[in-house]
Chains A and B, each alone.
Chain A
Amino acid sequence: MNILIEDVSVTYQPKTPFQYNALKNITTEFKSGQFYGIVGQTGSGKSTLVQLLNGLILPTTGIVKIDDFELKRKTKYKMIHEVRKHIGIVFQFPEHQLFEETVLKDVMFGPMNMGVSEEKAKTRALHYLKELHVDPALYEKSPFDLSGGQMRKVALAGILAMEPKVLILDEPTAGLDPSSHRETMDLFKRLRKELNLTIILVTHDMNDVFEYTDEVRILEAGHIVESGLTEEILTNQAVLERYSLNLPDVVRLSHDLEKKGHVIDPIPKSIDEFIVEWRLRDA
């Protein structure tokens, strides 16, 4: 599923003293099956952009094209509902969205709300709960009796059970411990391959962006100020400094070692990968 954002602006509370331009004439593209990172300071427009992609917010001017669908200022709800079948959003702390009596029912809610039959919804729910390694003993328990990490997996299974073609992740690992963090990010990586998902990751974690994404968009004050390959933008110290973003740890390390005369090309995707490669070099 290709997404094309054409000259889109979003203005909150227009024609009032509180008028605020959250996005200003943005044009960009998200291609099918790619993994994107969206970074920028708080208030740069990241959340607005994400909400634009599934019709939670409509453009004030411009068009969002999602394959054959078009979202504009006056697009009708029926059309928006169609679009939402294909675009799943995982908000920060998705476990806050759980509400059903049992884990299984909670995961089935999304697909049934999209018009999938109960029987089919159940098949899908079981499939994705298994995929996310949720213990079958928990399926009939209340989602509120689970641990934080388990709740997040259940919430995620509910979104995947809608079988979206695009998955939007807003700080999906905030508050997770290191092992759950890695597990969750690796899961997204695997799902993207298996289901040919387009993934759009909004985060402050530059290490994750560098390790997992193909392309990156930097937002500042409602504009897309940089757009391109992750390995080019996130290794450019001058660009990142201009937008007060940190260099990924492994990039900083590689640059500092290059200053000492080591050749590190290409830069490994993570500190762990760096360690493995450095050991090989020593051996």
Chain B
Amino acid sequence: MISLRDITYKYHNDDAYALNHISIDFKRGSFVSILGHNGSGKSTLVKIIMGILRPTSGDIFIDGKPVDKDNPLELQRRFSIVFQNPDNQFVGATVIDDVAFGLENLGVPHETMVEKVESALKEVGMWEFRNHEPHRLSGGQKQRVAIAGALVTNPDVLIMDEATSMLDPDGRKEVLSILKKIHAERDTTILYITHDLREIEDSDYVFILRKGHVVNEGTVREVYEDTDILVSSNLELPYNIKLSKALCDGAYMSYEEVVQRL
């Protein structure tokens, strides 16, 4: 559906490339995670995918057609994004207004809009809060409203850009379980950007980014197995991995398997 081919990017006043030869394919309906620490290039990559930055070199294709000067907005139309700080993204005075904003912008007729907003808010379990002020909700609830606002335009890809990193543990669980549900029920591709290895467990495919390079990619289990890369990418190892590496011959094991083994 959407593919990045050999993308590099360099900021004007920097010698180093922020992104080096990145190639990624997003299959329809997949849950893809991009993991990396500060300065790994995650944010630059998101900006390129969103069409906010143009790659220094490399190509982006949508359904086989290259994105270029003739259709620069094509990318934005296909993607919706939920940002890190839930307070920075609300425009409506109430939850329902906020979710409707994206549709108003696209000139959707009123009746269709009402239906779509209701179904998006029900999807994330926030319909009963429709008349609340977004700013007065909890962190997890805010991000659920933001997800509804992102989904209501029916994008091909939903980008979650460190969207749980400012939430407390409960808020984080809320958001992850909503995403799991969306992944099961819709064919929207989910692109999940994070630095937390514990959050990728539901992903179909994972990329590890370090200093602008993809240093590993594969299924969750595959990337978990190469602990050296995780450590050198300055990612915090989940404790079952620490334990299986140190006490169980080094092979990856789930927490339950570790307990069984010890």
Q: State whether B234 touches A275 (Cβ < 8 A).
A: no
Query: Within the assembled complex, what's the spacing in Å between the Cα atoms of A275 and B165?
Result: 28
Asked whether any CB of chain A lies closer than 8 Å to the CB of B236, the reply is yes
Query: Within the assembled complex, what's the spacing in Å between the Cα atoms of A246 and B198?
Result: 14
Q: State whether B139 touches A42 (Cβ < 8 A).
A: yes
Q: A41-B168, A204-B168, A257-B259 are in contact. Are A271 and B243 (CB under 8 A)?
A: yes
Asked whether any CB of chain A lies closer than 8 Å to the CB of B106, the reply is no
In chain A, positions 220-261 with a C-beta closer than 8 Å to chain B are 244, 246, 249-250, 253, 256-257, 260
Query: Within the assembled complex, what's the spacing in Å between the Cα atoms of A253 and B246?
Result: 15
Query: Within the assembled complex, what's the spacing in Å between the Cα atoms of A274 and B247?
Result: 10
Query: Within the assembled complex, what's the spacing in Å between the Cα atoms of A158 and B115?
Result: 55
Closest to B171 in A: A42
Among A22-30, A94-102, A121-129, A174-182, the stretch that binds chain B is: A174-182
Q: State whether B138 touches A253 (Cβ < 8 A).
A: no
Q: A177-B234, A178-B235, A179-B234 are in contact. Are A275 and B259 (CB under 8 A)?
A: no
Separation in Å of the A250 CB from the closest CB of chain B? 8
Q: A257-B262, A260-B259, A279-B247 are in contact. Are A175 and B242 (CB under 8 A)?
A: no
Tally A residues with Cβ within 8 Å of B.
Answer: 25
Asked whether any CB of chain B lies closer than 8 Å to the CB of A262, the reply is yes
In chain B, positions 236-255 with a C-beta closer than 8 Å to chain A are 236-237, 239, 242-243, 246-247
Identify B170's interface contact among A41, A249, A250, A275, CB under 8 A.
A41
Identify B37's interface contact among A177, A257, A275, A279, CB under 8 A.
A177
Query: Within the assembled complex, what's the spacing in Å between the Cα atoms of A234 and B62?
Result: 52
Asked whether any CB of chain A lies closer than 8 Å to the CB of B107, the reply is no
Asked whether any CB of chain A lies closer than 8 Å to the CB of B57, the reply is no
Separation in Å of the A16 CB from the closest CB of chain B? 15
Asked whether any CB of chain B lies closer than 8 Å to the CB of A136, the reply is no
Query: Within the assembled complex, what's the spacing in Å between the Cα atoms of A177 and B36?
Result: 10
Asked whether any CB of chain B lies closer than 8 Å to the CB of A148, the reply is yes
Q: State whether A253 touches B169 (Cβ < 8 A).
A: no
Identify A262's interface contact among B138, B247, B262, CB under 8 A.
B262
Q: A42-B138, A148-B38, A177-B38 are in contact. Are A253 and B239 (CB under 8 A)?
A: yes
Secondary structure of the A contact surface, majority rule: helix
In chain B, positions 92-118 with a C-beta closer than 8 Å to chain A are none
Query: Within the assembled complex, what's the spacing in Å between the Cα atoms of A178 and B235?
Result: 7
Tally B residues with Cβ within 8 Å of A.
Answer: 22
Query: Within the assembled complex, what's the spacing in Å between the Cα atoms of A246 and B172?
Result: 13
Asked whether any CB of chain B lies closer than 8 Å to the CB of A14, the reply is no
In chain B, positions 37-52 with a C-beta closer than 8 Å to chain A are 37-38
Asked whether any CB of chain B lies closer than 8 Å to the CB of A278, the reply is yes
Binary CB contact string for chain A from 172 to 192 against chain B (1 if under 8 A, 0 otherwise) = 000101110100000000000
Query: Within the assembled complex, what's the spacing in Å between the Cα atoms of A279 and B248?
Result: 11
Q: Which residues of A have CB within 8 Å of B138? A: 42-43
Q: Which residues of A have CB within 8 Å of B246? A: 275, 279
Query: Within the assembled complex, what's the spacing in Å between the Cα atoms of A178 and B227?
Result: 14
Query: Within the assembled complex, what's the spacing in Å between the Cα atoms of A269 and B235?
Result: 21
Query: Within the assembled complex, what's the spacing in Å between the Cα atoms of A209 and B259?
Result: 23
Identify A278's interface contact among B170, B195, B239, B262, CB under 8 A.
B262
Q: A41-B170, A42-B138 are in contact. Are A175 and B243 (CB under 8 A)?
A: no
Query: Within the assembled complex, what's the spacing in Å between the Cα atoms of A178 and B238?
Result: 11
Separation in Å of the B193 CB from the closest CB of chain A? 15
Query: Within the assembled complex, what's the spacing in Å between the Cα atoms of A245 and B243?
Result: 23
In chain A, positions 181-208 with a C-beta closer than 8 Å to chain B are 181, 204
Identify A275's interface contact among B38, B168, B247, CB under 8 A.
B247
Q: Which residues of A have CB within 8 Å of B170? A: 41-42, 244
Closest to B38 in A: A148
Closest to B256 in A: A256
Most buried by A among B37, B235, B259: B259
Query: Within the assembled complex, what's the spacing in Å between the Cα atoms of A208 and B199?
Result: 19
Q: State whether A271 touches B239 (Cβ < 8 A).
A: yes
Closest to A176 in B: B38
Separation in Å of the A117 CB from the closest CB of chain B? 38
Q: A41-B168, A42-B139, A177-B38 are in contact. Are A275 and B242 (CB under 8 A)?
A: yes
Q: Which residues of A have CB within 8 Å of B242? A: 271-272, 275
Query: Within the assembled complex, what's the spacing in Å between the Cα atoms of A272 and B246?
Result: 9
Q: Which residues of B have CB within 8 Å of A262? A: 262
Separation in Å of the B209 CB from the closest CB of chain A? 14
Identify B234's interface contact among A178, A244, A278, CB under 8 A.
A178
Q: Which residues of A contact B (CB under 8 A)?
A: 41-43, 148, 175, 177-179, 181, 204, 244, 246, 249-250, 253, 256-257, 260, 262, 271-272, 274-275, 278-279
In order of increasing CB-CB distance, the 5 nearest A-B pairs are A178-B236, A177-B234, A275-B246, A249-B239, A271-B239
Q: Which residues of B contact A (CB under 8 A)?
A: 37-38, 138-139, 165, 168-171, 195, 234-237, 239, 242-243, 246-247, 258-259, 262
Instruction: Give 10 A-B contacts (CB < 8 Å), ordered by A residue.
Output: A177-B235, A178-B235, A253-B239, A253-B258, A253-B259, A257-B262, A260-B259, A275-B242, A279-B246, A279-B247
